[in-house]
Amino acid sequence: MHKRSEEDLLELAKAYVVQAEKDAELNPTSETMQVVVVEPMKKPYKKTIPNTLEAQQELVGGYIEIIRMGNTETGGSVAITLNEEGKLMGLPFNRRIIARNGSDNFVGTFFITAFNMQGDNISLKDSECDQFIKKFNGMEVYL
C-alpha cells in the first residue's frame, strides 16, 4: 500500500481547489436556475426557479435527494433532484429509469438540474433542457 506524505496530500488538495475554481468560472451559479421539471404523467418542461433549497423542496414536495446522471456541455454535473421520501409518502408513479447498474421507479415530481465542482447549482442551457425534455418524454427513460 502506498502512503502519501502530508506534502503530497496538500499539493493534491491545492490542485483540486484550482480545478474547482476554473470549473466555477465555466459553470457559474446565479440567483435563479433553469431546470427541467418532470411531473407524473405529463410532458417535461423548462422552468426557472430561485436557486434556493426552499424552492427545490417546494418543487418536489419535501426533502430532496440528488442522483447524479452525467455532465453538461461545459463539464458541470447533471442530476435528478427528487423527493427522498416519495415512495414512503405514496407519491404517484412518474418514470421508470433504466441505467447500466439497474433500474428504479421514480415517483412524484422531480427536476433535472446541474451543479459545478464546488457543489453550487447552475442553470441548464436551453439546448440541454431540450435534450432532457426529449429524453424524459416517455414513461421509460434509458440513461
Q: Per-residue pLDDT averaged across 115-131, rounded?
A: 92
pLDDT at 94: 98
Whether the predicted pLDDT of 1 surpasses 70: no
Q: What does the pLDDT average to over 106-132?
A: 94
Average model confidence (pLDDT) for the chain? 92
Per-residue pLDDT at 7: 85
What strands lie across the sheet with 93-99, from one edge to the other?
102-107, 93-99, 140-142
More confident residue, 89 or 120: 89
Nearest to 77 by CA among 119, 110, 43, 28: 119
**pLDDT > 80? residue 27:** no
Percentage with pLDDT > 90 across the chain: 69
* pLDDT tens for each residue of 49-96: 999 999 999 999 999 999 999 998 888 899 999 999 999 999 999 999
Residue 11 has pLDDT above 80, yes or no: yes
Give the per-residue pLDDT at 2.
61
CA atoms within 13 A on the CB side of 25: 5
Where do the structural domains in the chain lie, given as residue ranges? 6-142
**E runs forming strands in 1-143:** 32-38, 45-50, 64-71, 77-83, 93-99, 102-107, 110-115, 121-122, 140-142
Q: What is the per-residue pLDDT for 65? A: 97
Written as nine digits, the cell of 45 is: 418542461
